[in-house]
Amino acid sequence: MNEQYHIPVLLKESVDGLDVREGGIYVDLTFGGGGHSREILSRLGNGKLVVFDQDEDAYRNRPDDNRLVFVRHNFRYLTNFLRYLGIEQVDGILGDLGVSSHHFDDASRGFSFRHSGALDMRMNGKAGKDAASVLNNYEEKDLKNIFYNYGEIKNAGRLVKEIAAFRHSRFFETTDDLKQVAEKTAPKKDVSKYLAKVFQALRIEVNGEMTVLEETLMQIPSVLKKGGRVSIISYHSLEDRLVKNFIKTGDCRKSQIETDMFGNADVPLKAVNRKVIVPSDEEIEKNNRARSAKLRIAERR
């Protein structure tokens, strides 16, 4: 593996959270550079590890290990692929959401304002609309919602006015096109942070990350054995809210537990850690990407 591909975040904490059992069956939803998968394999004995990644580059990192099955598809098809592999239920599921450092570092993928490249941003480079097409075709009100909700950009309205003015005469094609437009509405003292949020918001939309996460979380109760564990690392407050609600209530959109007329609640998971787990200062110092990470661990009832 290329050592620089990605530095795993909250590696020990998230894999400890799975409580890996020798001989068990585990899923890593987000293989990436394989940091978490390798740690699971090191504790797995003669078990099985099914990993997902929709990115061709991640597939090239896979170790030569006959306990590992690589699924080169979106993890939203979790249940279908497990069924296809003849697996009904698993002992643990790990998810380390979002994109890898490799995505940001590869200029041709268009994820970063720091590199000039085509405005693509698709994790699966073969499917769906790219970032340029979102910017060129979406209605202004939809773009505003994307930047406001996924990027937490307070002046999303002004940004979208600039985007509209640009596309009046030209098409968005490159990361530099978007960078130049967004710089006009960025606060003078924090331009990089603002640009990072603009690019992040667009990436979340391009890859349908919120919908995919919700669909996938909702499949977990049926594919996880009783006593099985799930460890999810998120990097964005909206993602974390979905995960938190899901663990607490069994529904990503509900923050309060619903009970039946007898006061009983049917919640499939119980939280293992009462408080969300965040990286140590030491980890953040070594790996800035860890800064926004939040880990939640839960067990199937």
Ligand X SMILES: C[S@@+](CC[C@H](N)C(=O)[O-])C[C@H]1O[C@@H](n2cnc3c(N)ncnc32)[C@H](O)[C@@H]1O
Smallest gap from residue 119 Cβ to ligand X (A) = 18
Phi, psi of 252 (to 5 degrees): -60, -25
Q: Which is nearer to ligand X, 122 or 244 (CB)?
A: 122
Nearer to ligand X, 98 or 110 (CB): 98
Residue 239 and residue 37: Cα distance in Å, rounded? Answer: 22
Which residue, 247 or 295, is less far from ligand X as judged by CB? 295
Return d(Cα 122, Cα 144) in angstroms, integer.
20
Q: Give the other-Cβ count within 10 Å of 165's Cβ.
A: 11
Beta bridge partners of 71: 52
Q: How far is the CB of 170 from ligand X (least distance, A)?
A: 30
Give whichever of 122 and 179 is closer to ligand X, judged by the CB atom.
122
Q: Which is nearer to ligand X, 210 or 267 (CB)?
A: 210
Q: DSSP string spanning 81-102?
A: HHHHTT---EEEEEEE-S--HH
Residue written as token pair 């009904």: 88
Strand 224-234 and strand 294-300: pairing? antiparallel
The closest alpha carbon to 67, from 99, 102, 23, belongs to 23
- Give the nearest distance from C-beta 72 to ligand X in angstroms: 9
| Min CB(155)–ligand X separation in Å | 29
Q: Which is nearer to ligand X, 3 or 260 (CB)?
A: 3
Interacting residues toward ligand X by CB under 6 A:
6, 8, 30, 32-36, 52-55, 58, 74-76, 96, 98-100, 123, 212
Characterize the bridge pairing of strands 269-271 and 294-300.
antiparallel
CA distance 116 to 114: 7
**Least CB distance to ligand X at residue 301 (A):** 26
Provide, rounded to whole angstroms, the least separation between the CB of residue 234 and ligand X.
10
3-state secondary structure of 172: coil
Query: Which CB sits closer to ligand X, 30 or 185?
Result: 30
- Cβ 296 to ligand X, closest distance in Å? 15
Structure tokens belonging to residue 95? 């998810």
